[in-house]
Amino acid sequence: MVASGASDVDTSTSKHLRGKYAICGIGETSYRRGSDQTTRSLATWAIKNAMDDAGMNAGDVDGMLSYSGNDSTFSTFVAGDLGIRLNFYMDVHGGGSSTECLIGIAIGVIEAGLCKTVAIYRAMNGFSAVRIGGTGARSAAPVTGDQIHHRAYGWQSAGQMFAPSFLRHMYDYGTTPEQVAHVKAAHSNHASNNPKAYYKTRLTPEDVVNSRVICKPLHLLDCCVETDNATCIIVTGIDRARDCPNPPAVIQAIAGRTCKPRADMHYQHGPISTVAGYYAKDILWPNAGVGPEDIDVTGAYDAFTFTAMLQLEDYGFCKKGEGGDYVSSGIINLGGARPNNTSGGHLCEGYTHGMSMVIENTRQLRGEVDDFCPIGPDGKRQHTYDYAEGGCRQVKGAELTANLGWANPGTGSAMVMAKDR
């Protein structure tokens, strides 16, 4: 059921903070392999870039949140580097689906009076140090206790762990590898218009299914890229955000790390071809007061082609089981009705555990996507809306975006943002 009206939601209570907080600053390093920097250095660069974007100096930021998997630098070090005196910070364990969730936490702690403005960052050497694909140090770590039930079977990396959901979706609904390969094709087209993207080459669905098999149903080109980078998002109250140089991306609703039953081993509770978005959608859409049909741009997490497809389906962008048709229909392409991951996402731009997809949608709502379009005399890009290779990636009239964050089939987060009034 899509909740397209807000009549059943009491927006006067503090439970619903729709429209009261916004993203006012975004910052990135480059997306590359071989950063030659520590995560402390990467984080510091990304946060400073976000502060500059928000027109803020060290005295304007008093909260910090980060997430990592023992592969990053804690808030206290980067805050110290930047001369930020913190009234609040927290560094949490987590990967994908943390971005939207931490934005929700930022809103909560600001609302509770702990601080006024929070910089959220994720800094990682996902290629050079702790590899996101799971090779190197992660696969060599000792196998203990609860991990024996999967790691002893050579069932450990993200692709290996998620594959039973992907295959079962093919079995349950007749989804084909070629259909899902369209996700990579679409994102590669988007990346070809993104000067920052690590992979900018346009690919076809045939290229994907002809690439070598990693673990069925995943070919090499169904899998995301490993890169070194840091990213930062600054969240503050709507009034403060309106004083910043760039238009606020106004936060409408968040679902944070919503889980399927049995989060300890989610496969115990099926259908295993259904993911956490099935539950998160019932938090996201009523609180946002809009439904999937209202959304102009999606940011469905693409650790793999299949993760984007499964989430778009379970959040209700198409009927259950029709995700394969949806992603191969052209809808998710720039120029289509509802483009997904216009930056090229994790499959092509770089891997950030979700941050870059929120950054991209913030730019979409600003109308300031950093593509190859010329910059006019007013310093703003003159978007051509020509999505040919090496051209534009701004979506015309983008007013509402949805980010769908993925941790695993059993856990996800989501966020709806709107252009300011």
Query: What residues act catalytically?
Result: 301, 351
Integer Cα distance of 99 and 26 in angstroms: 13
Which one of residues 5, 55, 80, 270 is an interface residue with another protein (CB under 8 A)? Answer: 270
Closest by CA to 48, choosing from 40, 381, 33, 245, is: 40
| Comparison of 192 and 408: residue with beta carbon closer to another protein | 408
Q: CB of 70: closest distance to another protein in angstroms?
A: 18
- The three-class DSSP label of residue 388 is coil
C-beta separation of 156 from 150 below 8 A: yes
| Comparison of 165 and 188: residue with beta carbon closer to another protein | 165
Integer Cα distance of 416 and 230 in angstroms: 23
| 216 near another protein, judged by CB under 8 A | yes
Amino acid occupying residue 284: L
Neighbours of 15 (CB within 10 A): 10
| Comparison of 220 and 337: residue with beta carbon closer to another protein | 220
Query: DSSP letter string over 286-327?
Result: HHHT--GGG-SEEEE--SBHHHHHHHHHHTTSS-TT-HHHHH
| Comparison of 78 and 310: residue with beta carbon closer to another protein | 310
| 269 near another protein, judged by CB under 8 A | yes
C-beta separation of 134 from 156 below 8 A: yes
Q: CB of 307: closest distance to another protein in angstroms?
A: 15
Residue whose structure tokens are 């400073």: 48
Q: CB of 171: closest distance to another protein in angstroms?
A: 5
Which one of residues 168, 281, 338, 419 is an interface residue with another protein (CB under 8 A)? Answer: 168
**Window 171-190: residues binding another protein (CB under 8 A):** 171, 176-177
Q: CB of 156: closest distance to another protein in angstroms?
A: 6
- The interface mask with another protein, positions 123-162, x = CB under 8 A, is ----------xxx---xx-xxxxx-xxxxxxxxxx--x--
- The interface mask with another protein, positions 323-352, x = CB under 8 A, is ------------------------------
Q: What's the per-residue H, E or C state across 340-383?
A: ECCCCHHHHCCCCCCHHHHHHHHHHHHCCCCCCCCECCCCCECC
Total number of residues binding another protein (CB under 8 A)?
A: 47
| Comparison of 7 and 144: residue with beta carbon closer to another protein | 144
Closest by CA to 106, choosing from 86, 120, 127, 87, is: 120
Which one of residues 37, 75, 125, 165 is an interface residue with another protein (CB under 8 A)? Answer: 165
Integer Cα distance of 43 and 219 in angstroms: 32
Amino acid occupying residue 149: H
Tokens describing residue 391: 């051209």
Virtual CA dihedral for 369, 372, 377, 378, nearest 10 degrees?
0
**Window 53-112: residues binding another protein (CB under 8 A):** none
| 310 near another protein, judged by CB under 8 A | no
Across the strands, what pairs with 405? 413
Which one of residues 214, 249, 300, 416 is an interface residue with another protein (CB under 8 A)? Answer: 214
Q: CB of 322: closest distance to another protein in angstroms?
A: 19
Query: How far from the centroid of its chain's Cα atoms is residue 36's Cα?
Result: 25
**Residue ranges that bind another protein, judged by CB under 8 A:** 133-135, 139-140, 142-146, 148-157, 160, 163-165, 167-168, 170-171, 176-177, 209, 212-217, 261-262, 264-265, 267-272
